[in-house]
Every structure is written in C-alpha cells, then in structure tokens.
A and B are shown apart, each in its own frame.
Chain A
Amino acid sequence: MKKTLCIALAFVLAFGILAGCGAKETTSASPEGSSGEPTVIRLALMNAETEIAGWEAMVSAANAKLAADGENIVIEIQKINATDWPEYYQKVAAEMAAGRAPDIGRVAESFMPTLIDRGQIVDMTDFVNNELDQSQYYMKTFENAGYVDGRYYGLPSGLYNYVLYYNKDLFDAAGIAYPSSDWNNPTSFEEIEEMAAALTKQIEGGTQFGFYSAPYMAEVGMYSKSKGGFSVFDDNGNPIMNSAVTKDVYNWYDRMLTSGTMPTPTSTDIMDAMTMFTNNRLGMIVDGTWYLGMFGAMTDTLNVGIAAVPGAKGAPSYTSQFVDSFVMFTGTKQEAAAYKALAAIISKEGFEALAATGVGGIPVQREVSAAVTDTLLGDKFSEDGKACAKNSLDYTLKVPYNAFYQQADEKVNNMMGEWMLGQISADEFAEKVQDILLAYKAEAEK
C-alpha cells in the first residue's frame, strides 16, 4: 500500500511540475497601444543554424531603428525548427486556427498562393503604394507569387535565382573556352551540348560528366522562355508544357542524358549532382545563387566560374527567381505596429545587417544590394563572374506559382525518372506533364 501511495504521489508531483511549466501568453493576442509597455510584434522564422544569425541580425537592426525612430515597438523572433516549409506552414496554420498566430513571418514563395487563397495573410497594397519609398527597392522583385491581380501580399526578404556554375580547372584541362557571362548573349543550348561532350570522360571511380541542370518545371520554364516560349503557363494561365518550344527543351535534356554527358537518376542516386560538382567530377551545373557562399568557402579545392544560364543564340536568357517574403498574418490585433515593424525590417539598416552575414540571398534594397554583392562575392570569383551574378537580377523570371503549382511540381518530379531512365520519350513526358497540370487546373477551377 505504501508503494501505491508513493507511485500516486510521484504522479501528482510529475504533473505538478508539468503544470508549473505553464505556457507563456503570446503577445499577439493582446491589442496594441497599452501605455508604457512596448508593443511586441512576434515574427515567425524558420530556424536553421546556418541562417538564423542573419535573421537575428536583421531583427536587431530593425529594433534599433524602431527605437531610434521613437517607436515603442519591439520585434521578437519565434523560431520554428521545421525541416521544411510545409512543416512551418502546418505550425503557423494551427496557431492561426487557435487565434494565436504570430503577427508577421517569413514565408517561402511557393506557399504564397496557398496563404493568399485561404485569406491567411493581409493584403499590403496600401502600405506598399503609400508608405514604402519604392525608389529604394527593386520593385520588380515585389512582383512574385505574393503579387496577385495588382495586389501585394508580401515584402521580399531577398532574392535567389539560377546561374550557370562551371569548373574552370576542368574547362582548362579540356582546352575549351568558358561559357558566356553575358546574359544578352548567353552560351547557346547547342554550345552547351558540345561543351558537355568535351568535358565528359571516364576517370578513376566513374564518369566525369559535362553538364547538369535538374529538369524541374522552374528550369524547363526559364529555358522555354529564353527560346521564345512561355514559362509553364501562357499569358492566360493555361499550361503550355507540351508546346513545341518546351518539347525542344525536354529533347535537349534528353540528348545529353542518352549521350551520357549529363548524369541520369541512376548516377545521381549514388552521388547528387552538386556533390559531383564540388568533387570536380562535373563540368557545369545550373543551380541557385544560394550556393555562392558555399563556393566562396571552397576556393582551396574548387575553382568555380559564374556564367549566364543557357539560352537561345543571340537572345537574352532568363533565370527563374525565388523570392521569399515577409508577410502579415490575418488576425493580428496589432496591424499598425506590425507595419512599422515590417518597414524597419526591410529598411536599409535591416538589409545591411542581414547581408553582412551572407544570408538571405541578394538584398532587394538597391543601395545595399550594390554594396553587398561585392562583399558576398569578395575576391573569390573573377570580375567577370561577379558582374554576371549581379547582372542576373535584370533577367529574372517569376516562377508561376499558383494554388496547385507546388502539388503538380511534386507529381511531375515523382514521375521524372520514367523519362530520364529512358522508359518514355521526352515528347511523351512533356505530354504527361501537360496532363498533370491540366488535371490540377480543372480540379482548382471546380
């Protein structure tokens, strides 16, 4: 009986301790403007060890600016240790349902259509048009997936886009000229094929491949646009993935896959393309500017050049842009203070602090962007390469995210192996992609 009593008491104690770990009241639930105490604006951020210091620096600078401007507002970060954006979204969605959502947050561009569709973020058009000094920003970057029917739902937190990275040592060893860094006169698709063939050879432990570009819709779309077509959808929002131009792009990939100059999924299952590139086993790779920092830190083992992504001969080439945004969640009771907080975050001071840490991509604030691109790229890349990375901002192309793009993209990616492993032709694959998009579009229109 004594033992029973002990166990019962242990449980009471345990739950007592638990009850002691009571929840903190979230500040967003209380209305703004109470006297004396600062208004606390909660900012939800995805927490990653490599990036969080940058966002913390940005928020510190924003808080300092708010204080300097005499505003009694403090921004607090709510770190969400999610693995990916869907997990981040699930957490925020649950908080919204319970009426305890953060006031503001940073959201991936791909999630913007969902948030807008469900009315979960605030329309910030009046703020952008009337409060924001637009001359300070690359306003084109505001026209991303958070810009719908002329309404702004997000403020860009930075920009990433695709460039062509190439291994200078492998090019030198093969005795071929580097790809073009001129976005108005990029290396053509045909020239890339030739370069890839010249770079491909058998080396110790396998094959040295010439070229890799993941045939995701965002990449196929930008190549189609460079060839005079459309990126995934036409101007009326109709899928266009089985057009002659897009089929041309898929067939360009197909020729390199079948000739063995581009790694197939069988090869990338063993070692992904980026690892091949960083191990000097791949000549060229089209990937995002999010890798600039990583390449800059690898100059002792890797000699990287930056070029424009492949395009049509004599025509400009386009690069898909990825712009994550700061948003205001619906239901915040502190809208006025949240706007002031957002203005401070995306101020020159905010972007300067963020950029100094090398996080967040290319700043969309003009002054900071110019200064920071030099700092970010430093002396690790040639002047030509640096100019190419900077100039890429003038050739960016919006990824046509909509309510179903993300789901369709995942489905397309899941069946990509069928084509890349030669079970179906490039044309057949293009038709399948088109069917998937049409099915999702029909579902969305119901």
Chain B
Amino acid sequence: MKNKSEKAKRILSSAILMFASLGMLFPFFWMVKTALMPNKATLTYPPKLIEWPIVFDNFIKVFTSTGLSRAVLNSLFIAVVSTAGVLFFTSLAAYAFAKIRFRRSGFYFGMIFATMLIPSQILLIPMYVLFAKIGWVDTYLPLIVPQVMINGYGVFLIRQFMVGIPDSYIEAAKLDGLGHFGIYWRIMLPLSKPPLITLGVFTFIGNWNNFFGALIYLDSEEKFTLPLLMNIFRSQYTVEWGTLMAGATITVLPLIVIYLFAQKSFIEGIAMTGVKG
C-alpha cells in the first residue's frame, strides 16, 4: 500500500516537473521555430506549432550578411578572458578575506562589497571619460578590466564558501611548508570548485550577453560583439523576427553547451552558496 502511494507520488511529481520543464523549454522551441520560418510568415495567425516548409534562409542571412564569425570570436575572447580573470582575482581576494587576518580587513571587504550598491548608470559617463582619456575606448579593456579588478559579488560569493573550509587544512599545509599562494592554489581553489563554477558560469553568461557595455565602448565594426551585431535586425519601426531569432539561437547555443557540461557543479554551487541566478 505504502509502495503504491509512493509510486503515485513519484508519478505525480514527475508529471509536474515534466510539465514545468516543457514550459521552460517552450520559448527556446519557439525561438528555433521562428528562426526556421520565412520572415514574412513569422506573424501569421493562427500560429502553428510546426511551420512547413522549414527554411534556413534566416541562418544563411545571419551568416552571410553580417560579420558573424568575427563577432563570435570577439564575444568569446571577452567572455573567456573576463571569466578567467574574475575567477583568479576574486578567489585570491576571497582567500585573503576568508583566511588571512590583517588590519581593517572587514573595512576593505565592506568597501569592495559596497561597489555592488552603486548603480552602473551613475558611473557610465565618468568611466567613459576616464577610459577615453587613457585611450581604452574602442578596445575590449573597459569591458574586461573593471569587473576583473573589482568584483564585489564574486569576492563575497567565494569568501562565504572559503570561510566554511576548516582552518586545520591551512595549518597542515603551513606545516608542510606552503606559503599563502601555495595554500590558495593547492588547497583552497580545488576545495572551492562549486562556487568557482557558479561564478564562472554567471560571469561567462553575463559577458557573452553584455550588450550595453559593448554598445558604449566599441566603435569599430570589426570589434563588435555578438549581441551588438544581432541588434541590427531591429529597426526603428520594424523587427525581422526570423533573422533575429536565428541570431538568438546562435547566441544561446554556446551557453547551453557550457551549462550542460557544468550543470552538476553549477547546481551544487548554487545549493552550497545559496545563490539564485
């Protein structure tokens, strides 16, 4: 009897989860479906679940009429370098704040944390002026360096995790002759994999999708990133939905692949750090 009710419960929860999953997947399905339709047919009524014939014109247009491959490389470059930089520097800072006692560490941590409270719009003009003065406008540096150097969210996330790692590991490592960097590199980093992967995925996604920063700081077409490039399919009065969705499909593909590879650690990281995206 108990078995039966448990089985029923499991079936019910599976059905609910499956239904919710379909709900989550539906926008992706619609995006791909719209991308495979002629632009003219994207707004026909009543809409059909599957539109025949399937056409690849939108993908061809995206690949041929724009500098797509260059934009993909540009986005990839920014996202990879930013993610690597953010992970390295934030984890270094997090280690210091979590495990090294030094004067006013709380104050410095508070200062870094406080940077999260400043709305980015307020900083837009002063930062642009500063970057223009040092010749960084129309380079990728303004899109990478600030977040790598000061990342309150990342430092906070990893510090909270590192605080929970027993000090005895560090004491043992010191007895084995490791210095701070050795402890950080050989002990703390491997143990902090879950929050690092979580932060890595968030940082990569954020940079991959960063439209506004690229819009403001990049002028030369050959430096345009993918979100910036995709925006040309909207005009003041009309939107080419088919082409835009083809571009969006291409844009989200790498993110889906990354998520599939990192999903176990990503979910673990979210569960252990209490972060929700």
Contact = CB atoms under 8 A, between A and B. Distances in A.
Given A11-B88, A23-B136, A278 B43 contact: yes
A98 B128 CA distance: 7
Interface residues of A, number: 52
Interface size class of B (residues with CB under 8 A): 35 or more
Most buried by B among A4, A94, A291, A294: A94
Given A18-B140, A83-B231, A48 B88 contact: no
Nearest to A22: B139
Contacts of A279: 43-45
A47 B232 contact: yes
Contacts of B221: 79
Contacts of B237: 288, 290-291
B235 A80 contact: no
A98 B132 CA distance: 6
B132 A100 contact: yes
Interface string B230-242: 0111111110100
Contacts of A85: 236
Interface string A79-105: 111111101001101110111100000
A34 interface: no
Interface in B108-143: 124-125, 128-129, 132-133, 135-141
A50 B238 contact: yes
A49 B135 contact: no
A136 interface: no
Contacts of B224: 81
A91 B46 contact: no
B interface, over-half SS: helix
A12 interface: no
A43 to B, nearest CB: 13
Contact of A97 (B128, B231, B235): B128
A247 to B, nearest CB: 30
B223 interface: yes
A355 interface: no
A356 interface: no
B216 A48 contact: no
Interface of B: 40, 43-46, 65-66, 81, 84-85, 88, 124-125, 128-129, 132-133, 135-141, 144, 181, 185, 212, 215-216, 219-221, 223-224, 228-229, 231-238, 240, 243
Given A47-B231, A50-B240, A81-B224, 7 more contacts: A21-B140, A26-B219, A50-B238, A90-B124, A98-B133, A275-B45, A288-B237
23 contacts: A14-B84, A18-B140, A18-B144, A21-B139, A23-B135, A23-B138, A23-B139, A26-B219, A46-B236, A48-B233, A49-B243, A50-B235, A78-B219, A82-B231, A83-B234, A85-B236, A90-B216, A94-B128, A98-B128, A98-B133, A281-B45, A290-B236, A294-B238
